[in-house]
Amino acid sequence: MPQFLDASAPDFEERFTALLSAKREDSPDVDATVARIIDDVRNRGDAAVIELTSKFDRLELTPETLAFTAAEVDAAIEGVPGEERQALELAADRIRAYHERQMPQDQEWTDETGATLGWRWSAVSAAGLYVPGGLASYPSSVLMNAIPAKVAGVGRLAVAVPTPDGQVNPLVLLAARISGVDEIYRIGGAQAIAALAYGTRTIAPVDKITGPGNAFVAAAKRRVFGKVGIDMIAGPSEILVIADKDNDPDWIALDLLSQAEHDESAQSILITDDAGFGRAVAQAVDKRLETLERRAIAGASWRDFGAVITVRDLDEAAALSNRIAPEHLELCVADPVGLGAKTIHAGAIFMGQYTPEAIGDYVGGPNHVLPTARSARFSSGLSVMDFLKRTTLSRMTPEALRAIGPAAECLAKSESLEAHGLSVRARLDRLNG
Amino acid sequence: MPQFLDASAPDFEERFTALLSAKREDSPDVDATVARIIDDVRNRGDAAVIELTSKFDRLELTPETLAFTAAEVDAAIEGVPGEERQALELAADRIRAYHERQMPQDQEWTDETGATLGWRWSAVSAAGLYVPGGLASYPSSVLMNAIPAKVAGVGRLAVAVPTPDGQVNPLVLLAARISGVDEIYRIGGAQAIAALAYGTRTIAPVDKITGPGNAFVAAAKRRVFGKVGIDMIAGPSEILVIADKDNDPDWIALDLLSQAEHDESAQSILITDDAGFGRAVAQAVDKRLETLERRAIAGASWRDFGAVITVRDLDEAAALSNRIAPEHLELCVADPVGLGAKTIHAGAIFMGQYTPEAIGDYVGGPNHVLPTARSARFSSGLSVMDFLKRTTLSRMTPEALRAIGPAAECLAKSESLEAHGLSVRARLDRLNG
């Protein structure tokens, strides 16, 4: 049973606050282990990576077999059925089209003093993408990470994917091929992150690492941050559905379950202005849980972290949504655009009853790597911006320096930074003398 | 004596690599102390903040005196001389004008399937700005952090600035006033970061914390990251000047010294295609170091981390610059725009001999909070983007869902996420049936 909350009940604030602050994930403390692995890879390079891969993935590699050859990729993806290949290609095309629109513009202008100011965007030179092995090896995540990198203009994109016992998901290789990935390494865990960040004889270092991973991968990404850039450290997935009574309870139930089935720590919340509809959705969830393949996972998530909240009206729903700051927000109401304008803090919004969140996981176009754990209050989903950086530009003329230089000199003096002031003053004296 | 390197010497690669990897800063390990302070503030709120402020800043506060009142700010800034006030206002106006141009656009479009896609930018609701006390209490940094936040549309902007023994820099308060800061607290250190991140009875929590600070502040920011957003953790400042012989050696010397005077760990590097000019600049540095107020600091930085590199031509200079990825890059050459197009990785570029880096610290317009320690390879200076986040939007029509839904269902099945597929299938069946 999920929790049922009523926004007009006297204990609502207390229960809602408890729901918001529920600790859904206990990260094991693997930091010491990860630190040793990173040091080992920094010191011994390929040899360390090969030893650790033998130990953790039961796979014997050599420097020559660390990377998949093009022929190996060809062979692996040959057997992918046409339907899946076409689906991946459709997804890739839509993701590419969406992210191409995100490319920001350079600017340059001359201001009233004659100074030329502006900025320029440029891509990171090399990026690494971590792809988990085993169950969580999602080809869709390869597309969602690799395509924005390539759209941004990343010159070299390397994938690390562990292949325990030599097993690899051909769809992951196909997704990498479709996305334009340049190198694919058969390595995983903290050793893969260390190899990408610091480089080995075989694996050139990258400047930025993105992609999901287990606790070891997450801890390694935290450790190498600074040496390279990283994306967010994602928590378990979440969905908030705001739905009025004019919806099919079964559709809403399936949307809630499509987050719950990811992970026992996932969280699915329904907010509705109709208590009866809320009960109907909960019943539909129970019914679907009787037969769902991943019912053990989805059932645990729904039981432990699921919630159905009844509100007086949709404005109250928007206010609660902004406190939750959900990763995914579905607006199944008569005026989703109007309600969307009031739900400020969300990673992604899905509007109307024909936009199940699963569309966004695969083929909608927007990225499915989104801020979790209320971080949509201050952060955004993955985009081309994660693979770009901005250089600011300025060029003074003598006239511009005369106009604004004295103010810089004054402020430098007030901050007791004499050389700063002198670097301006020396030029002004020449110009004025 | 700084290092003199010649790019055509046989040992150059080795020496340049050593220069790049020189460890310039030893951060003391204050993590355990900081963890205790944060826990204390989370548990005891105002009482903990007040006790810690008494202990570290020798200042007795009450919940009522944690914040400056408007009258206190008025009184403190009354004595600021007109010249400094005008200089701050000129700087603020220019920083505001530059950052207003950074505001990104929302987008929404309908694609060929009839799906509406897009994104929307919104500001973080509340931000906190840390301002160091004492020597490093720079009013220019208040402007550089607070103005982008306000331009982005941050509703509530709180400053924390320690006032050891009750001493405060009136220019910091004036800069906060000019920037539109909403609240100013007399607190510092890890306790200030904890109070901003978790809130106390008196201080409401914020969503994002920016601004420089000592090792305790940096460690606290790392710890609260995830609960709130943070800006980068800045390292010591750096400048790279690329200059040909047609420059005044004294001007270039002053530009190098204006980084060196910040910090003994700062790094100033000159690359020139004229060995004689390089020696002349080094002599000019020595001469200025005889009288410079901060000669002890600047001299140590120049001696320990400074370098003069002679190259064969400016293309070689650009290639080295890209390996250094400097925070500040001055291009004092005949064609700075042409050379600038080749220097891809840099936080900020200053073009031509009339653009000393100090202009950018105060009044140029671009931000002076920039990526250090080679992180310009993958990150950017502070901007309005640090105070905005993007929500992606999608809305399918029945036709759009018919067009792309089957591909989503196919990919969901291939990832063994049944509920994802069913959430699409249930809708398609209704539409088709």
DSSP secondary structure string for all residues of B44-105 = HTHHHHHHHHHHHH-----GGGSBPPHHHHHHHHHTS-HHHHHHHHHHHHHHHHHHHTTPPP
Q: What's the pLDDT score for residue B135? A: 61
Q: Which of B205, B230, B255 is the last residue of a domain?
A: B230
Its ipTM equals 0.96
Residue A245 has a CB neighbour count (10 Å cut-off) of 13
Last residue of a domain, one of A186, A205, A230: A230
- Residue B143 lies inside a defined structural domain of this protein: yes
A-chain residues near B418 (CB < 8 A): 261, 292-294
Asked if A12 reaches chain B (Cβ–Cβ under 8 Å), the answer is no
Q: Does residue B189 lie in a domain region?
A: yes
Q: What is the pLDDT of residue B267?
A: 96
Cα dihedral A135/A137/A139/A144 (nearest 10): 120
For residue A228, the 8-state DSSP code is B
Q: Is the pLDDT of residue A419 over 90?
A: yes
For residue A229, the tally of other CB atoms under 10 A from its CB is 22
CB distance from A228 to chain B under 8 Å?
yes
CB spacing of A427 vs B251 below 8 angstroms: yes
Domain membership of residue B387 (yes or no) is no
Distance CA A232, CA A211 (A): 9
Chain B, window 180-209: residues with a beta carbon less than 8 angstroms from a chain A beta carbon: 207-208
Token representation of residue A247: 């919806």
Q: Do B251 and A119 touch (CB under 8 A)?
A: no
Residues A116 and A191 in one domain: yes
Q: Alpha-carbon torsion A383, A384, A386, A391, what sign?
A: negative
Active site residue B25: no
- Check whether residue A69 and residue A178 sit in a common domain: yes
Which DSSP symbol is given to B155?
S
Q: Which two tokens stand for residue B213?
A: 């600070």
Whether A136 has a pLDDT exceeding 70, the answer reads no
Q: Residue B74 corresponds to which amino acid?
A: D
B361 marked ligand binding residue: yes
Share above pLDDT 70 across residues of chain A, in percent, rounded to a whole number: 99
Whether residue A391 is predicted with pLDDT greater than 80 in this model: the reply is: yes
Do A113 and A400 touch, CB atoms closer than 8 A?
A: yes
Same domain, B196 and B249: no
Q: A160-169, A230-239, A359-368, B156-165: which has the minimum mean pLDDT? A: A230-239
Catalytic residues of A: 327-328
B289-328 b/e with 16+ CB inside 10 Å = b?
beebebbebbbbbbebbbbbbbbeebebbbebbbebbbbb
Q: Is B93 within a domain? A: yes
Q: Answer yes or no: do A83 and A49 share one domain.
A: yes
Per-residue pLDDT of chain B (433 residues; tens, 9 = 90+): 899 999 999 999 999 999 998 877 777 789 899 999 999 999 999 999 999 999 999 999 999 999 999 999 999 999 999 999 999 999 999 999 999 999 999 999 999 999 999 999 999 999 999 999 876 689 999 999 999 999 999 999 999 999 999 999 999 999 999 999 999 999 999 999 999 999 999 999 999 999 999 899 999 998 998 899 999 877 889 999 999 999 999 999 999 999 999 999 999 999 999 999 999 999 999 999 999 999 999 999 999 999 999 999 999 999 999 999 999 999 999 999 999 999 999 999 999 999 999 999 999 999 999 999 999 999 999 999 999 999 999 999 999 999 999 999 999 999 999 999 999 999 999 998 8
Residues A86 and A120 in one domain: yes
Q: Looking at the domain assignment, is residue A287 inside a domain?
A: yes
CA distances to A1, A17, B40, B130, B167 from B60, in Å: 51, 33, 18, 20, 13
Task: Please check whether residues A329 and A189 belong to one and the same domain.
Answer: no
Query: Does residue A261 sit in the same domain as residue A367?
Result: yes
Q: Residues B138, B225: one domain? A: yes
> How far apart, in whole angstroms, are the C-alpha atoms of residue B136 and residue B261?
12
For the stretch A229-288, pLDDT in tens is: 999 877 889 999 999 999 999 999 999 999 999 999 999 999 999 999 999 999 999 999
Q: Under a CB-based contact definition with an 8 Å cutoff, are residues A361 and B408 in contact?
A: yes
In a domain, A5, yes or no: no
Q: Do A416 and B255 touch (CB under 8 A)?
A: no
**pLDDT of res. A29:** 82
Q: Give the model's pLDDT for residue B27.
A: 73
A21 band by pLDDT with thresholds 50, 70 and 90: confident
Between positions 95 and 154 of B, the ones with CB within 8 A of A are 97-98, 101-102, 104, 107, 109, 111, 115-117, 119, 122, 124-125, 135, 138-140
Average confidence (pLDDT) over A180-204:
98
Average pLDDT (A23-36) is 85
Position A135 scores a pLDDT of 61
* B39 and B154 in a common domain: yes
Does B334 contact chain A (CB < 8 Å)? no
Which value, in Å, is the radius of gyration of the alpha carbons in chain A? Answer: 26
A23 inside domain: no
Q: What is the DSSP string of A41-107?
A: HHHHTHHHHHHHHHHHH-----GGGSBPPHHHHHHHHHTS-HHHHHHHHHHHHHHHHHHHTTPPPPE
pLDDT value at residue B395? 98
Beta carbons within 10 angstroms of residue A326's beta carbon: 29
Q: Is B356 on the interface with A (CB under 8 A)?
A: yes
Mutate to test the interface with A, among B42, B384, B418, B430 (most CBs of A within 10 A): B418
Q: Report the DSSP beta bridge partners of residue A127.
A: A157, A208
Please identify among residues 48-77 of chain A the ones whose CB lies closer than 8 Å to any CB of chain B. Answer: none
Rounded distance between C-alpha atoms, residue B30 and residue B133, angstroms = 19
Point out the residue among B365, B370, B392 whose CB comes nearest to the CB of A117: B365
Q: What is the model's pLDDT at position A153?
A: 98
Q: Is residue B174 located within the same domain as residue B241? A: no
Q: What is the mean pLDDT of chain A?
A: 96
Spatial neighbors of B340 by CB under 8 A, at least 6 apart, are A393, B331, B349, B351
In a domain, A329, yes or no: yes
User: Residue A243 sits in a domain of what CATH number?
Assistant: 3.40.50.1980
Helix (H) or strand (E) holding A256: helix A249-260
**pLDDT recorded at residue A229:** 95
Residues near B150 by beta carbon (within 8 Å), at least 6 away in sequence: B157, B179, B180
Distance from C-alpha of A212 to C-alpha of B28, rounded to nearest angstrom:
31
B330 and B249 together in one domain? yes
The verdict on B288 touching A (C-beta cutoff 8 Å) is yes
User: Which pair of tokens denotes residue A57?
Assistant: 């993935």
The count of structural domains within chain A is: 3
Which long-range contacts (C-beta less than 8 Å, at least 24 apart) are formed by A85-89?
Answer: A85/A174, A86/B407, A87/A362, A87/A363, A87/B406, A87/B407, A87/B408, A87/B410, A87/B411, A87/B414, A88/A139, A88/A143, A88/A171, A88/A174, A88/A175, A88/A178, A88/B411, A89/A178
Burial of B402 (0-12, 13-18, 19+ CB in 10 A): middle
Same domain flag for B336 and B363: yes
Angle at CA of residue B322, ends B319 and B328, nearest 5°: 125
Of B197, B230, B263, the last residue of a domain is: B230
For residues B245 and B273, give the distance between their C-alpha atoms in angstroms, rounded to a whole number.
Answer: 8
Domain extent for B309: 235-378
List, as residue ranges, the binding site of A.
130, 191, 214, 237, 259, 262, 328, 361, 415, 420
Average pLDDT over residues A48-72: 97
